[in-house]
């Protein structure tokens, strides 16, 4: 086998607590990272030398405002391939083609998902030279979301995202609201730090898979809202008030809970399969493209 095609699943953050900035420049976080069916497609082919990366057709969300996919060594998928060959001590290369659907700067982990797919794919193509633990360490060196997305199932992530533990969750139905603009992650972290300097207190993390499962089972809306709270929302909604309005619109139309994913710009609603008013038309009038999806089933 010299080629394969993989799905690079996006993620939503089911709650996201951001702590203080650490001496290494990162922030401590606590979050549940849940892969969803919405995905990019990553095609990988072995080559005798060099890493060649490019788009396999321009998707509708390849460029958004001043953010665009870098098709060079700045791309996380490229960095993943380079890191794999170094770690495996393999003198070879590959061709990577990505069909982008996951929006840039949307808080859905698109670049990290592509990197995770490249790590898993190259390890398969070259005969599994690296253990899962070694792959996870490489993933952590590439980006904070990559280890959890490499795992391919819901995980609770701590530290800067590299400390992960798989958790069991039921399948969740989601509506993703994708605005036509991005939110830069670096800006969002700076904005959170500025708010805290201005007197907004640092809350303690309350995110718990056990409590989330119980709230879902009992249909406790207050409990769901608490579990899905996101530390970025005050800063991001202040700068991008339309995102706050999208969240309110989801709740008004019967979403069980709604939240920002990552640092945005995607706002998602946790929805019922039946019996709720579909807000897609109302959101479209406000400039949001919506995608219905669900979390990837937990493997037993």
* Catalytic residue positions, numbered: 11, 145
Give the residues across from 290 on adjacent strands: 177
Dihedrals φ, ψ of 219, to 5°? 60, 40
CA angle 118, 119, 124 (to 5 degrees): 95
Q: How many other CB atoms are there within 10 angstroms of residue 161's CB atom?
A: 24
Cβ atoms of 55 and 97 within 8 Å: the answer is yes
DSSP letters for the chain: --EEEEEEEEEEEEEEEEEEEPTTS-EEEEEEEEEEEEEEEEEEEEESS-EEEEESS--TTSEETTEE---STTSHHHHHHHHHHHHHT---EEEEEEE--SPTTSSS-HHHHHHHHHHHHHHHHTT--S-HHHHHHHHHHH-TTHHHHHHTS-EEEETTTTEEEE------EEEEEE-SS---HHHHHHHHHHHHHTT---PPP---HHHHHHHHHHT-HHHHHHHT-BTTHHHHHHH-HHHHHHHHHHHHTT-SEEEE-TTSS-EEEEE-SSSS---HHHHHHTT-EEEEEEBPPPP-
Q: Kindly report the length of the chain.
A: 300
């Amino acid at each position: 086998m010299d080629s394969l095609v993989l799905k690079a699943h996006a993620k939503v953050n089911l709650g996201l607590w951001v702590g203080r900035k650490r001496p290494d420049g990162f922030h401590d976080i606590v979050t549940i990272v849940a892969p969803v069916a919405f995905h990019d497609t990553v095609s990988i082919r072995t080559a005798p030398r060099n890493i060649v990366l490019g788009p396999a057709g321009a998707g509708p969300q390849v460029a958004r405002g001043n953010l665009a996919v870098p098709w060079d060594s700045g791309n996380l998928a490229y960095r993943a391939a380079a890191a794999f060959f170094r770690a495996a001590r393999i003198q070879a290369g590959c061709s990577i083609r990505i069909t982008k659907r996951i929006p840039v700067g949307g808080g859905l982990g698109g670049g990290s998902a592509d990197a995770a797919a490249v790590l898993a794919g190259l390890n398969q193509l070259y005969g599994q030279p690296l253990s899962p633990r070694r792959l996870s360490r490489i993933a952590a060196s590439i980006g904070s979301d990559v280890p959890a997305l490499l795992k391919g199932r819901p995980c609770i992530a701590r530290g800067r995202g590299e400390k992960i533990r798989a958790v069991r969750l039921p399948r969740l139905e989601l509506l993703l609201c994708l605005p036509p603009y991005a939110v830069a992650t670096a800006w969002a972290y700076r904005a959170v730090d500025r708010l805290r300097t201005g007197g907004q207190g640092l809350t303690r993390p309350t995110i718990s898979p056990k409590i989330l499962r119980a709230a879902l089972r009992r249909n406790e809306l207050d409990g769901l809202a608490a579990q899905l709270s996101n530390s970025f929302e005050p800063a991001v909604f202040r700068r991008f008030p339309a995102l706050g309005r999208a969240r309110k619109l989801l709740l008004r139309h019967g979403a069980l809970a709604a939240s920002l994913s990552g640092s945005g710009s995607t706002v998602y609603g946790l929805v019922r399969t039946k019996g709720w008013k579909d807000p897609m038309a109302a959101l479209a009038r406000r400039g949001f493209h919506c995608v219905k999806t669900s979390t990837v089933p937990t493997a037993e």
